[in-house]
Amino acid sequence: MIDQLPSHHQSLQYCRSMTRRRRARLQCSLSSGNIKMLKAWATNKDSSILISEAHGIKTSSRDFAADLLDALLEASIPAIWSLSSSIDEGDVMLENLLAALIMQAIRVNPGVLSDCVNPVSVIHFKATRTIDEWFRILQRCLRGLKRLFIILDLILINKVLKRDRSLELEEFIGKLEDLCYSHNGILKIVALTWRTDATLYRLSQDSPVGTVIATDPGPRKVRLMKNPKYRTALASRRQCVSDVLKGIMGFSM
């Protein structure tokens, strides 16, 4: 199990690298309306889910995640994540991704290993058989954290769920909502999605999970931005994602 876990450091480095490469060709950023929604969501004291939806560029939500994680880490705000990486993910199962999140949660919240009331131990991992049990361990590992951000690539997770059939995507989102409702601190979950994927798009339209923002200006404006004549004009009306996020995260501390 541990040998199969995707490295969260590796996935973030890969995400950063791909973001830099893509932005060398085309720079996308957030509109003022999406910035306002993001700031309101991030600074609100309630646990909630943010759906970060790519509209015109499938990878823009992943680029947003790289910027968000850099802003969180720079502000020393605890965060854990499950992102796509350069390794072969063809054999990854949902339990692998959940175990990776649990290991990260233990690193940011090591007190759960020495909790005087039923601490988390190796026994819990060995005894785990179902997805519900993995989620219960994750919930226990988050116990006591005053604030935590969880960034999840639903584009990747949806592929995993289609392959291992452990849950439907809607059921997975329901598990995330349960984490929010049961957490005694502030839990902020960011779900990365892609509008063209029918399942993911339906999720953002039908599910009352929280705030939805667009991580790029949409297909029409993306096409215009490829033309140097329009690129400067469009970019001047939008703000750098990295700078915006660092300002928001600094404000929310």
Helix 169-182 × helix 131-141 angle, to 10°: 30
Taking only the tens place, the pLDDT of each residue in 45-72 is 999 999 999 888 888 899 899 989 999 9
Structure-model confidence comparison of residues 199 and 1, the more confident one: 199
Report the helix count and the strand count for the chain, using DSSP H and E: 12, 5
Average confidence score pLDDT of the chain = 81
Helix 154-164 × helix 198-206 angle, to 10°: 110
Out of 17-31, 54-68, 110-124, 178-192, the most confident range is 178-192
What is the DSSP pairing of strand 210-214 with strand 186-194? unpaired
Residue 163 burial class via C-beta count within 10 angstroms: exposed 0-12, middle 13-18, buried 19 and up? middle
Taking only the tens place, the pLDDT of each residue in 178-200 is 999 999 999 999 999 887 666 66
Taking only the tens place, the pLDDT of each residue in 140-162 is 999 999 999 999 999 899 999 99
Give residue 184's pLDDT.
92
How many residues appear in the chain? Answer: 253
Count the alpha carbons within 13 Å of 60 in the hemisphere toward its beta carbon: 26
Q: Do 52 and 60 meet the contact criterion of CB atoms below 8 Å apart? A: no
Give residue 125's pLDDT.
75
Give residue 195's pLDDT.
74
The answer to which of 161-165, 219-223, 237-241, 245-249 has the lowest mean pLDDT is: 237-241
pLDDT band at 205 (very low <50, low <70, confident <90, very high): low
Count the alpha carbons within 13 Å of 120 in the hemisphere toward its beta carbon: 22
The reported pTM is 0.87
Q: Report CA torsion sign: 198, 191, 34, 228.
A: negative
Give residue 226's pLDDT.
65
Query: What is the distance between the alpha carbons of residues 50 and 37, in angstroms, rounded to a whole number?
Result: 10
Query: What is the distance between the alpha carbons of residues 65 and 19, in angstroms, rounded to a whole number?
Result: 10
Q: Do 69 and 80 meet the contact criterion of CB atoms below 8 Å apart? A: no
Query: What is the distance between the alpha carbons of residues 132 and 137, in angstroms, rounded to a whole number?
Result: 9
**What mean pLDDT comes out for the span 80-94?**
82
Q: Residue 6 above 60 pLDDT?
A: no
Q: Which residues contact 54 (CB under 8 A, 6 or more apart)?
A: 60, 61, 62, 192, 193, 194, 195, 214, 215, 216
* Residue spans of beta strands (DSSP E) within 62-118: 79-82
